[in-house]
Amino acid sequence: MSLKRSSVQYTPSYITLLCLLCNREKAEVEETLKRIQAHKGVIATIVVNAEGIPIRTTLDNSTTVQYAGLLHQLIMKARSTVRDIDPQNDLTFLRIRSKKHEIMVAPDKEYLLIVIQNPCE
Amino acid sequence: VYTRKRSEFGRPCSFSDRPAKVNVDIPPDPSMASDFVLRNPVDSYVQHTSDMSEHEVNTERVEVESRGVNHVEGGWPKDINPQEVEQTIRFRKKVEKDEHYINTITHLGTLMEHCVKQNNAINIYEEYFGEEEVAEVEDEPPSAKTINVIRDPNITKRTATHLSWHPDTCKKLAVAYSSLEFQQNTKDMSFDSYIWDLENPNKPELVLKPSSPLVSLEYNPKDSHVLVGGCYNGQMAYWDTRKGGLPVEVSTVEVSHRDPVYGAIWLQSKTGTECFSASTDGQVLWWDIRKLSEPTETLVLDVTRKGLLENALGAVTLEFEPTMPTKFMVGTEQGIVIACNRKAKTPPEKITSTYSGHHGPVYALARNPFYPKIFLTVGDWTARIWSEETKESSIMWTKYHLSYLTDGCWSTVRPAVFFTTRSDGTLDVWDFLFKQNDPSLSLKVCDEPLSSLRLQDNGCVVGCGSKLGTVTLLEISSGLCTLQRNEKTLATAV
């Protein structure tokens, strides 16, 4: 939603309106993350930015930072591998299945969405 | 001695011109031409290529080490102190309000949800078709291939005298190194023995540092962290791999053996801490590793049953089968195999029977894992198979080879297959159901004599140690390590 900036008076009601709109979009994010967390088998959800700062996490800080640091390097390596093979291609998703659970990473230029799930087996 | 005054250094040289002067003039001597014959035609080759030379280059091996990274804190911008909770919360809230963030997360969220739901819907690793019937075993010729070679990292190479596989994982191998030549120990020979991890054959996983080289080394089958080793000077030592490379305890010298401990085996006991050892000084000693200051029991290998040490035979190998905990067998230097009963009341009765048949020391002794009454002995130039009931002679024996046999063991999966190693570096695989005169497979493993042999529990991988400390791991073809259907019945018939 983009609003025209010119000739608008920042009355209190207007500011409330702006906040509400922002909150609605922010609420969308909240809802998405909560929905993912509520799925069966999901252990943790983490949102990290490109510098390794956890924006949103359901785990403790030290584990989150550990995941962030290690997965960031792996994503970069995976992306460069995909692009080396075909420069038109790009990495969209990464899934690591281990003995105990599955780590799914959705990468983006700025942020990383990491979900750790225990697949039903 | 060439001397020169210091003041004369650095003087300019004065060269002078001189006309050419003949120093030597040798006229041709026609009488020498009679020694030579004119060659006609002359062979000469012409090739339109450029001259090339060949060089070999081998790069030095780069030592690679894997290390982990511990991330502690993310890359916060300079103006934010990560310890301050307020500042970090404020930063997070700021990021969450960013429009770009919102769009990205919604997009990524849909992607992620799709995968999460996928995971919950089907199990992609489920076995859909049950175990298919195993195809008919083809009659392929037996073969073996080397999968790994582990060398002694020291400069003075020592013999790999004993190998022991890790009881659970089969990915680790403990090798005892020592020099068995009489008085050949050089000053710089190291005493270390190693535990190797097969994933990393260049560097040992753990270095065991005894006070004297180890002749035998065994993993405890109940507790895979504990190993017992018999030393060259007769002491017994035990290690705990969690505690590092120095022995946790060493037996006292006065009560230990007086000769190298050639056999050390763990016993089946409730505590899992008992073992026994045998040496060429004629004694078999039982130990509890919690108290290595003195043995719990001793037995003198005197065949005349008098218990005299002077008459005792030197033991070279020891055998123990966990299914028969009171009986054990000892192979001696004199070529006799002694079967003993530990639970006999008086010491003379401990020795139940003897089997003689070899001309030289019995280097290996093994019971068939499927038919415990049948056992294999390896010594001098033959390998013999005995049955416990027939005491006069062996029931089967191989022909006399050209080189003497150094070690042997049964296959753990096939009752009719056994392996032997020779001093010319050959590994033989015998299958007495298939061919009784010759080995079914004979492989030259290396040029130096092979000194020890050990089969992994799954029966497919065999490790051979050689005189120069090289341990070669061979994988034998599946025909030799999968049980044939009628093999057990055929073997019983024999």
A vs B: CB pairs below 8 A = 110
Contact A104, A114 (CB under 8 A): yes
Q: How confident is the model at residue B291 (pLDDT cuts 50, 70, 90)?
A: confident
**Residue numbers of chain A with a pLDDT score lower than 70:** 1-10, 13-26, 120-121
Q: Cβ separation of B112 and A69 shorter than 8 Å?
A: no
Task: Give the residue-averaged pLDDT of B83-104.
Answer: 85
CA distance to partner chain B, nearest, from residue A72 (Å): 11
According to DSSP, the β-strands at A102-107 and A111-117 are antiparallel
> By the CB < 8 Å criterion, does A83 face chain B?
no
Could you report the predicted ipTM of this complex, rounded to two decimals? Answer: 0.72
Task: Give the residue-averaged pLDDT of B30-38.
Answer: 84
> By the CB < 8 Å criterion, does A39 face chain B?
yes
Question: Is residue B405 helix, strand or coil?
Answer: strand
Which pair of structure tokens corresponds to residue B298? 């001793």
- Alpha-carbon distance A76 to A58, whole Å? 24
Task: Give the residue-averaged pLDDT of B468-472.
Answer: 82
- Alpha-carbon distance A93 to A108, whole Å? 9
Q: Reply yes or no on whether the pLDDT at B356 is more than 70.
A: yes
Q: Between the CA of residue B202 and those of B64, B199, B211, B465, what are the distances in Å?
A: 10, 9, 24, 16
Beta bridge partners of B177: B160
Question: What is the DSSP annotation of B427-484?
Answer: EEEEETTT-SSS-SEEEE--SSPEEEEEE-TTSSEEEEEETTS-EEEEEE-HHHHS--
Q: Reply yes or no on whether the pLDDT at B146 is more than 90.
A: no
Contact A108, B102 (CB under 8 A): no
Interface list for chain B against chain A, based on CB atoms closer than 8 Å: 69-77, 91-92, 95-97, 99-102, 104-113, 115-117, 119-120, 123, 125-126
Which helix H or strand E contains B95, and what residues bound it? helix B85-97
- Alpha-carbon distance B100 to B107, whole Å? 11
pLDDT for A74: 92
Domain annotation for chain B: domains and CATH numbers: 156-493 (2.130.10.10)
- Alpha-carbon distance B492 to B494, whole Å? 5
Q: Between the CA of residue B441 and those of B7, B58, B169, B402, what are the distances in Å?
A: 84, 35, 28, 17
According to DSSP, the β-strands at B461-466 and B450-455 are antiparallel
Q: How confident is the model at residue B423 (pLDDT cuts 50, 70, 90)?
A: confident
Contact B349, B380 (CB under 8 A): no
- Alpha-carbon distance A115 to A74, whole Å? 15
Kindly tell me the number of DSSP H helices and DSSP E strands found in chain A.
2, 5
Say which DSSP state B60 is in: P
Task: Give the residue-averaged pLDDT of B67-93.
Answer: 80
